Amino acid sequence: MATIKDHVNVQAILQTAVATQTTFGLQLFMVDDDQILPDQRVLIVSQSDYTDLTSGTVPRNYANVFFAQKRVPAQLMLGRWFSAATNPYTYSGPALETDYTVWKAITDGTIEFSDGTNTESITAVDFSSITSAAQIPTVLTAKLAALVAPTITGLDTSTFEYDALGRLNLRMSTTGASALTVTLQSEGTGTDLTSAAFLDSANGAAVAGFDAEEPTAALAAIQAVNDTFYNVHIRGESNTQQVALAADIEAKEKLLDLFITDANAVSSASTTDVPYQLEALSYKRTMCIYTEQTTEFPDAAVAGCVLPADEGTTSFAFEVLSGVTDSGGSGTLSTTERSVLATKSCTWIETIGSNTYLYDGITSGGEEKRVMLARDWFVSRIREGIFTDQLNQPLSAFDNPTLSRVENRIREVGAEAIARGILLDTEEFPWTVTIPDADSFSSADRATRTMTIDDAFVGYINSAVNDYVITGTWSI
């Protein structure tokens, strides 16, 4: 077997603002869908509330499979990827929280709009015929449609609607990233609909449209909002975008699963398909899943089945999955097709008897995905433990008490990793921790105010693919 030596730099600098907070079981699914509000960027759903997603949509279909596995995940993070330009909009407070009968009493309401230069009013707004709050946007939209040559471009073709948070939105009919300047004004004749009891515009905001963006830009924007996810999936991207995203993930402590439907993936002559390209690049943090079932979600099934388990305790390969079928379009993949996929380090879904499995759970770099997850968990736990000790101790210095705390954290995490089957601890593959005495640091070391120890620990990852040596350098 090939030997992989991985030198891991475990740092816990006192100046670091926060400790690492990766949630290894939290899956991010990136998709372009209006249910994920642009001004929120992220929507987190659980087993109990994901059915609030609109039936038949991609997020709902993904969640249906994700939460249907034998191990039920706690949450799913949905992140907005703007694959196409979006419309600017203005939202106000949740109109659904106001009893519709209050609206029904309005027979001569007015709303004024302004883009900073032009103003427009809709008057004689009459809600007397409504029978539920759901009809409020319909009445308002009809009034916009009745405008003749409004001075604000697109106002007559714009719409009112409720968003996923129950907020009343005015969505403009133009797209792009130009700033939305249309606002709801508390002026006009008749009943003022912008008062707190109605549109609640004081608690609203204008949201500019977004230009179409690359998946890597979307991932960065999502991370800026919520960076606790670990495993990433995406749907609807091009081959070029998949390769770029895989390159981006390779530089992060996260993993990526790509949904591959390109028929070139099962061609031994092809050198353009994504699995071939990523295998040539030896990307260890991306796993490709090939299928000819273009409407299925094998990536959701795999993540939903495995990620709820304790990190490192479960292999991605040969886990029994629900809600998906064999990757072959008209039956099982042929022996030749499977052989080509294996050559390209690409996984697939295979039905054997009455069960459906992932085969065989490796990344494009030929490493077990379980190993990558286990390694990240192991390093993160040591880093977080050392950082926590620094927060709780008044003194971190070039002394033996500081070194003892570091050693204890490393041994503690190592023992858990051995118990989980992540690390080996045998006569042939021992787990060792080596921490020097404080007096061994020179005056030059002390002058840097950074204590660095090479090879503080050495262990062997319990891998079925490679002899995987993991050595740790830590600095404080």
Torsion region of 386: left, alpha or beta (phi above 0 gives left; psi -120 to 50 gives alpha): alpha
Provide the pLDDT for residue 180. Answer: 60
- Chain-centroid distance of CA 124 in Å reads 46
pLDDT digits (tens, 9 = 90+) for 140-184: 999 999 999 998 888 999 999 988 888 888 999 887 766 666 655
Give the distance, in angstroms, between the CA of residue 116 and the centroid of all CA atoms in the same chain. 37
DSSP state of 403: H
Is the pLDDT at 58 greater than 90? The verdict is: yes
Q: Are strands 109-114 and 119-125 parallel, antiparallel or unpaired?
A: antiparallel
Examine residue 360 and say whether the peptide bond preceding it is cis (omega within 30 degrees of 0).
Answer: yes
Please give the mean pLDDT across all residues of the chain. 86
pLDDT of 53 over the 70 cut: yes
pLDDT tens digits along 92-118: 876 666 788 888 888 888 888 887 788
Domain ranges of the chain: 22-83+213-359, 89-207
Tell me what pLDDT residue 200 has: 74
Place of tokens 């991609």: 58
Alpha carbons 161 and 141: distance in angstroms, whole number? 8
Mean pLDDT of 182-199: 64
Please say if the pLDDT value at position 358 is more than 90.
Answer: yes
Using CA atoms, how far apart are residues 431 and 441, in angstroms rounded to an integer? 25
Give the pLDDT of residue 471. 74
The pLDDT confidence band at residue 269, using thresholds 50, 70 and 90, is very high
Q: Are 195 and 187 in contact (CB under 8 A)?
A: no
Asked whether residue 301 carries a pLDDT value surpassing 50, the answer given is yes
| Range in 43-47, 195-199, 381-385 with the lowest mean pLDDT | 195-199
- Give, in degrees to the nearest 5, the angle at Cα 301 between 298 and 304: 145
Q: Rounded distance, CA 115 to CA 184, Å?
A: 10
pLDDT for the residue numbered 189: 54
- Quick one: pLDDT at residue 228? 92
| pLDDT of res. 22 | 60
- Cα dihedral: 78, 371, 5, 425 (round 10): 140
Instruction: Give pTM, 2 decimals.
Output: 0.86
Contact status, residue 349 vs residue 324, Cβ threshold 8 Å: yes
**Where do we find the tokens 């968003």?**
163
**Mean per-residue pLDDT, 430-449:** 84
Q: CB–CB of 117/181 below 8 Å?
A: no
Question: For 373-427, what is each residue's pLDDT tens digit?
Answer: 988 888 888 888 877 777 777 777 778 888 888 888 889 999 999 999 989 999 9
User: What's the Cα-to-Cα distance from 269 to each of 95, 273, 274, rounded to whole Å?
Assistant: 59, 10, 13
Tokens of 389: 């000790």
- Which pLDDT band holds residue 352 (cuts at 50, 70, 90)? confident
Could you tell me which of 325, 243, 257, 258 has the C-alpha nearest to residue 292? Answer: 325
CA distances (Å), 388 to each of 168, 190, 268, 372, 383, in order?
A: 44, 61, 51, 24, 9
Contact 98, 133 (CB under 8 A): yes
